[in-house]
Amino acid sequence: MCHQTVSLVARHLESNGIPTVVIGSARDIVEECGVARFLFSDFPLGNPCGKPYDVAMQGETIGFALDLLESATMPRTTVQTPYVWDDEAPWKDRYARVDAEIAAKLKAAGDARRERQRAAKEQGRARTS
Range 67-75, long-range pairs (CB < 8 A, 24+ positions): 68/21, 68/37, 68/39, 69/19, 69/20, 69/21, 69/37, 72/36, 72/37, 75/34, 75/36
The conformation of residue 113, written as its DSSP 8-state character, comes to H
> CA-to-CA distance for 109 and 98, rounded, in angstroms?
14
Domain hosting 118: range is 98-129
Residues 33 and 11 in one domain: yes
pLDDT digits (tens, 9 = 90+) for 95-108: 677 888 888 999 99
Residues 68 and 124 in one domain: no
Residues 112 and 79 in one domain: no
pLDDT digits (tens, 9 = 90+) for 43-91: 988 899 999 999 999 999 999 999 999 999 888 999 999 998 876 667 6
Nearest Cα residue to 65 out of 88, 41, 39: 39
Residues 69 and 119 in one domain: no
Number of domains in the chain: 2
pTM surpassing 0.85? no
Residue 92 domain-assigned (yes or no): no
Residues 9 and 65 in one domain: yes
Residue 93 domain-assigned (yes or no): no
Residue 14 domain-assigned (yes or no): yes
